Structure 1
Amino acid sequence: MSKTIFEEMGGTYVRQGDYNLPCLSLPAEKENKPIGVWGQRHLRYLKQHRKVLYTNLLTNGRLNSYLADIDEQAEDMFLRLVKQMAEREGVTEQLKAENALEWVQRMNNIRACVREIVEREIIFA
């Protein structure tokens, strides 16, 4: 019996019941960077809405580095926008010292607005 293309490339099969299944494994990634909250949110988005892109990244061995890059971009954007919006709206350390409750309320509002911006621009894009 002639060899299949998979066998010619060095692949092997395992017999399970009546079927010969190929022994497949994913390529190892070169770097194993940590993935934060933003990367996990983007991963969930890819799995649910961009299945082809997710499968391509996974099978090429680039998923982890891609998610780490997305996480880094989103975190940088989040911190930069929070700082800019806090300066623009006058949320300062002086306000924090004088009226902590108002400072917390305004900062939570700013962070919620920025979270939506980052999600729309990077995570769900």
Structure 2
Amino acid sequence: MEKHIMGENGISYTLEEDGLYYPDLYLPEGTEYPIGKYGILRKSYLKEHRKGLYLELILAGKLNEHLHQVDEECNQMMDRLVEQMKEKQGVTEKLKMQNQMEWVGKMNNIRACAEEMILKEIVCE
């Protein structure tokens, strides 16, 4: 049996040790982007709940780019929401200096609320 063959569909295949031919598929160059927390969460969500979209992105070679965009969008939204909530709740540097434990508690609450909103609106859409 030949080590490499060309299929009728124009895709080349390579014979592996298990005796099966596997397609030689490669991602286009320049598609490797760093992915953070929200990108990883989005990937898990797509795998479990949106398998069709997940496979479509993989086959188009756009999964990594999509995850990177989602991660960037989530991080920007997180920064915006935290600042808006801090302003509405009166969480200032003055409070931080006067009562550090209260400031930490409020900031933790703000971050948790902002993250919950991001997960519902972007990651799990």
> TM-score, normalising length from structure 1?
0.85
1:12 matched to which residue of 2? Answer: 13
Shift of 1:9: 1.5
> TM-score, normalising length from structure 2?
0.85
Shift of 1:123: 0.4
- Counterpart code for 2:8: E
Pair 1:50-2:14 in alignment = no
How many residues are aligned here? Answer: 121
- Counterpart code for 2:97: A
CA distance in 1, matches of 2:9, 2:81: 54
Matches within 5 A, 1:71-86: 71-86=71-86
Q: Alpha carbons of 1:65 and 1:29: their partners in 2 closer, same or farther (altered >3 Å)?
A: farther
- Tell me the alpha carbon deviations over residues 58-93 of structure 1, each in whole angstroms, 9 at most, x when there is no partner: 111111111000000000001100000000100000
Task: Check the 8 A contact 1:29/1:61 in 2, yes or no.
Answer: no
Task: Check the 8 A contact 1:14/1:23 in 2, yes or no.
Answer: no
Matches within 5 A, 1:1-125: 6-7=7-8, 9-12=10-13, 14=15, 21-125=21-125
Tell me the percent identity.
40
Cα-Cα RMSD: 2.2
Moved more, 20-29 or 33-42: 20-29
Larger RCO of the pair (alpha carbons < 8 Å, separation 6+): 1
SS of 2:66's equivalent in the other structure is helix
- Counterpart code for 1:6: G
Runs of 5+ consecutive residues of structure 1 not aligned to the other structure? none
- Counterpart code for 1:12: Y
Task: Check the 8 A contact 1:29/1:64 in 2, yes or no.
Answer: no
Task: Check the 8 A contact 2:31/2:62 in 1, yes or no.
Answer: no
Q: Alpha carbons of 1:36 and 1:8: their partners in 2 closer, same or farther (altered >3 Å)?
A: closer
Moved more, 31-40 or 92-101: 31-40
Shift of 1:27: 2.7
Shift of 1:15: 7.2
